[in-house]
Structure 1
Amino acid sequence: MKLLLHEIQRNPLLWLLVFVPIALATEKLNHEAHTLHFILSVLAILPLAVLLSHATESVAAKTGDSVGGLLNATLGNLTELVIAIAALQAGQYMLVKASIAGAIVTNSLFMLGASFLLGGLRYHVQEFNRVAARFQAGLLFLATIGLLIPSA
């Protein structure tokens, strides 16, 4: 408990943890307040994602790069996975497709662009591995084809 209080003092975003039980109670008490429940759930999931990221980094620091990378890749998208499973259970297949497409675009294109932008602010000349870039482009192409074929 003392560690959690220390983390809350270090990261003010964790004060939003108070919305976790509120969101759960709102869902049980008032089934018709969908907008309120959505807003409270978004506020509740933010600090949980921060805690998950911190826990993953802590485990990765003690276990090494390979296990840490595997944990980071697996648990880094846990929030998206939980939302996708809930959407599948509700029959929202288009939402799941949009979520997967958004995750692919965010993780591959947006992060790459942000890395180049921030790197360019500090280093005027940047180098990148052409083989790795070709590999990433191929993975993006395969993921796009994998999403488009089932929906055709």
Structure 2
Amino acid sequence: MLAQRSGGFSLIEVLVSLVIISIGLLGAASLQLNALQASTASHERTLASGQVDSFFEGLWANACHAWEGDGENRHLSPEVVTKIHTDWFESAQDQLERLESVESSVQQGAQGLVSVELNWVTSTMMSESEDPVTARVIHTKRILDPRGACS
């Protein structure tokens, strides 16, 4: 005679469902970790970008003193741009303290083009066994000659 089966789940069915749920939860945790890493990297990049923009604001504020020469020979003074960059980078250290190994450089081009590069080491996208990853923000802007606007 056949025994009647009760209405519950067998132990195997419960274990299989627990394995499936565990795999799903591990996937969800992995997605959360990736989202947190991306959010941190985005925050770092936004912070760095804002600080580079503050350098350009300082340069624009001093544009009357940054240009030198006459006529076709007018150009941005490398000494003034370098001094403003050095002062900015020193004052920005408080804002950039979250970033590791921060370095910055400034380059000048023709017709008032100025490019600032800010590099830092980010630990958000690496495990302990990986080499550090360098993140970079580069902004290039034209500083217009304020001829006649300066008194």
Identify whether the pair has TM-score above 0.5, normalized to the shorter chain.
Answer: no
Q: Relative contact order: is structure 1 or structure 2 higher (C-alpha 8 Å, sep ≥ 6)?
A: 2
- Determine which structure has more spread, i.e. the larger CA radius of gyration: 2
Q: Which has the higher helix share?
A: 1
Q: Which has the higher strand share?
A: 2
TM-score for the superposition, normalised by structure 1: 0.30
